[in-house]
Structure 1
Amino acid sequence: MPAPTVVLVHGAFADASTYQPVTRALLDDGVPVVAVAVPNRSLTGDAEYVRSALAVIEGPILLVGHSYGGAVITVAGVADNVVALLYLSGYALAVGESLAEMQGQFPDSELPPALEQRPFPGAGAAPGGVDVTIQPGRFAAVVAADVDPRISDVLAVSQRPLAAAAFAEAAPVAAWRSRPTWGVVCTADHAITPQVQRFGYERAQATIREVESSHLVMLSQPGFVVDLIKQIIESLN
């Protein structure tokens, strides 16, 4: 099998730039990589958008999802050219399960009280909705406690909101049922608790790795993430 392209899918309150050190390291090592910009509007809509990006990539794909991006790859990962999944502090949803339902089985993390909502207008006759972000003053403590403050301060004021409707939308499929899967548990995560992460990974029968990291593991532990990606690529050959 030819070497897979690594496709990086970001989560809520972020964009593809959060993968910058991982993307840079993979490029430097000659690993083909694409970091997708996810609309963060709806689970199925975001998954379809990611699948449209996967469709123009030749050859096999290792699909990587962080946080909410884990829910997105759960759905988008059924694309024929996806050969493996990697969750980074992510939601490995079951068929028919929403983010809210999965999270609701466990005590709240520090994330819910740090969220703020803002209505957004619809286009033309389309209805509007509600965007969700993290209060900038609480951003670092909740998702980036071990990230350089010069970086986390910028991320806090440049968040890509997640539409509130995405929390309640059920996953219609679960790609982990038919693809080899890996999952990273971030043991110092205050946004998605390690218990939630591990529950989803164990249910998916994923190969689990642990790392002492905040939620933004690709920024706090990029070397760990890159090394794991390379290990997965090796195992697929």
Structure 2
Amino acid sequence: MSSTPQAKQAGAARNVVLVHGGFVDGSGWRGVYELLGADGYTVSVVQNPTLSLAGDVAATRLVLDAQDGPTVLVGHSYGGAVITEAGHHENVSALVYVTAFAPDKGESVNTLIADPPPGAPVPPILPPRDGFLFLDREKFAASFAADLPAAEARFLADSQVPWGLDALGGTVGHPAWRTKPSFYLAATDDRMIPIAAQRAMAERAGAALTETGGSHAVYVSEPAEVAALVRRAAGATRKTA
């Protein structure tokens, strides 16, 4: 018989809520969803509209309201801004950032990407169209999904979700990482968020940092790495504010 899943250990969170980032939808979480589900976790995926930060926080809180106890809240990329604001929910026991933005009070994704250091990769974001952003399809794979099969990366490029300027510019009030245990998975080959920026945000948030090779789409390409960090977060205890 296999060992008891961490989800069933006394005091551990049994619920996980996954929040996607910009340009994509929640289907990319399927690998993580299946691994954690097989371990006995109850896993929910937020289909946040990515029209505004406030709207995405509201969508995430709706899912958190439905949880029956301690919950690990996980965000990828822009989803990190969402969980930073939504993470104050009483059901949230820990935060997991996956190659994600972790804004401080008054910051937005827009302010965090405003001044990239010399030599840092610059995401191929096209000029806004009617208030929405897209990535250049021809450069999508290299920037977002370099470690995925070419056909899968092409599908992500061709099925992009419009990312609203109000989501990009939405500012965080009081960051939940100040009061909730936080964990950060950094992808060393990420060409959307420079690895140095990931490390700096993790350190500022006091997050336990794990690094792995992988692109910005590491949540798709390396679901076992993500699931392992979520299991670790599930056993975390709350920070003392």
Residues 162-182 of structure 1 show CA distances to partners (whole Å, capped at 9, x for unaligned) of: 101222221112000000000
Aligned to 1:90: 100
Structure 1 residues 56 and 198, CA gap change in structure 2 (3 angstroms)? same
Partner residue of 1:66?
Answer: 76
* Length-normalised TM-score, structure 1: 0.90
Question: Is the contact made by 2:99 and 2:184 (CA closer than 8 Å) also made in structure 1?
Answer: yes
Tell me how far 1:32 sits from its aligned partner.
1.0
Report the equivalent of 1:126. Answer: none
Residue 228 of structure 1: aligned partner: 229
Paired residue for 1:176?
Answer: 177
Shift of the alpha carbon at 1:138? 1.1
Residue 12 of structure 1 aligns with which residue? 22
More strand by share: 1
* Equivalent in the alignment of 2:90: 80
Contact 1:65/1:90, CA 8 A, preserved across alignment? yes
- Deviation of 1:105 after TM superposition, in Å, equals 4.4
User: RMSD in angstroms over aligned alpha carbons?
Assistant: 1.6
Report what 2:122 is aligned to.
110
Moved over 6 A (4+): none
**Unpaired stretches in structure 2, ≥5 consecutive residues:** 1-10
Shift in Å, 1:73: 0.2
Query: Which secondary structure does the structure 2 equivalent of 1:226 belong to?
Result: helix
C-alpha separation in 2, matches of 1:141 and 1:40 = 23
CA spacing shift, 1:102–1:36, aligned 2, 3 Å: same
CA distance, structure 2, for counterparts of residue 199 and residue 3 of structure 1: 27
The percent identity for this pair of structures is: 38
SS of residue matched to 1:3: coil
Aligned partners of 2:185 and 2:209 also within 8 Å: yes
**2:55 equivalent in structure 1:** 45
Secondary structure at 2:168 match in 1: helix
Which residue type is aligned with residue 52 of structure 2?
S
Specify every segment of 5 or more residues in structure 1 that has no aligned partner in the other structure, as ranges: 120-129
Separation in 1, partners of 2:59, 2:45: 13
Query: Which deviates more from structure 2 when the two are superposed, residues 178-187 or residues 191-200?
Result: 191-200
SS at 1:183 equivalent:
strand
Q: C-alpha separation between the residues in 1 aligned to 2:59 and 2:233?
A: 25
**Partner-residue secondary structure (3-state), 1:118:** coil
Query: How far, CA to CA, are the matches of 1:48 and 1:228 in structure 2?
Result: 25
Contact in 1 for aligned 2:12/2:234 (Cα 8 Å): no
Q: What residue number does 2:148 align with? A: 147
TM-score normalized with structure 2 length? 0.89
Contact 1:65–1:88 (8 Å) recurs in 2: yes
Moved more, 88-97 or 1-10: 1-10
More moved, 209-218 vs 100-109: 100-109
The question of whether the paired residues in 2 share the 8 Å contact of 1:65 and 1:86 is answered with yes
Deviation at 1:232, TM superposition (A): 2.1
Matched length: 226
Determine if the alignment matches structure 1 residue 201 to structure 2 residue 212.
no
CA contact (8 A) 1:103 1:196 kept: no
Aligned counterpart, 2:6: none
SS in 2 for 1:151: helix
- Contact 1:116–1:135 (CA<8 Å) still a contact in 2? no
Residue 2 of structure 1, CA deviation: 5.3
